[in-house]
A = this chain, B = another copy of it.
Amino acid sequence: MPDHEFDLITTLMMPKKLRRRQYLLEAGDVCTKLAFVSGGCLRLFELDGSGREHILMFAIEGFWMVDVESWRARTPSTRNIDALEDSELLLIDVTSLDRLTLSVPAWDRYFKGVLENAYADAVARISEFVSASAEDRYLRFLSMYPGLFQRIPLHQIASYLGITPQSLSRIRRELAERK
C-alpha cells in the first residue's frame, strides 16, 4: 500500500477514549460511525418491553462494532452501544468510509472481509441458538472472546447467552464439578 493511502486511513480514523458505562450510541440516534476497538470492551444491546437488557454482541481488542441496521438504513437505532471497560477506539464515519473504499483498494478488500466475517459469525451464533444448549453457547463464548469472562460481570455474559445470571451460575458450577 502506497504511503499516501496509509496516511489517508490514519487521517480519517479518529481516536476516541470511552470510560466504563459511557455510551457510544444511544437508542434513537443514527449510528453514523464504525468503531474499531483497540483496547477495552464494548457491548451492543437492546431493551425489551420490561426494561431488561439483552446483549447482541461484544467487541474486544481487534473487533469492529456498529449497529448495522441503523448504519445501513440511516435510521434511528433501537439499540445501544456502551463500554464495559475503559476503552480505546478508532472511529470512522460513513462518508470517510466511502472515501477510503473508493480511493484505497486494499482498504476496500480488507473491509469487505471484515463484513463477511461479521456475517459468518452472526450465522454461527444463530446456529448455536437453533441447535445448541446454553452450556454449549457458554463454551463457545469462552473461545470466541478469550479471557473476557474474567473481565466483565457474569450477568453480562448471561444476557449475551440469552439466559438468566442464576442459570449461568449453575452452569458454571456444573462445569467445575465435572472437570
Could you list which residues of chain A lie within 8 angstroms of chain B, going by C-beta atoms? 46, 48, 52, 54-57, 68-69, 72-73, 112-113, 115-120, 122-127, 129-131, 159-160, 162
Contact = CB atoms under 8 A, between A and B. Distances in A.
B162 A129 contact: yes
17 contacts: A56-B123, A56-B127, A56-B130, A57-B126, A68-B116, A68-B120, A69-B120, A72-B120, A73-B120, A119-B119, A122-B123, A122-B125, A129-B129, A129-B130, A129-B162, A130-B160, A130-B162
Nearest to A78: B127
A130 B54 contact: yes
A50 B54 CA distance: 30
A118 to B, nearest CB: 6
A72 to B, nearest CB: 5
The copy count of this chain in the complex is 2
A141 B165 CA distance: 29
Contacts of A72: 113, 116-117, 120
Most B C-beta atoms less than 10 A away, residue of A72, A120, A124, A131: A131
Nearest to A45: B130
B69 A130 contact: no
A160 B131 CA distance: 10
A75 B132 CA distance: 22
A177 B9 CA distance: 59
The 3 A-B residue pairs whose C-beta atoms are closest, nearest first, are A122-B122, A129-B129, A54-B131
Contacts of A115: 112, 115-116, 119
A127 B46 contact: yes
A126 B125 contact: yes
A112 B159 CA distance: 31
Given A112-B112, A116-B68, A48 B122 contact: no
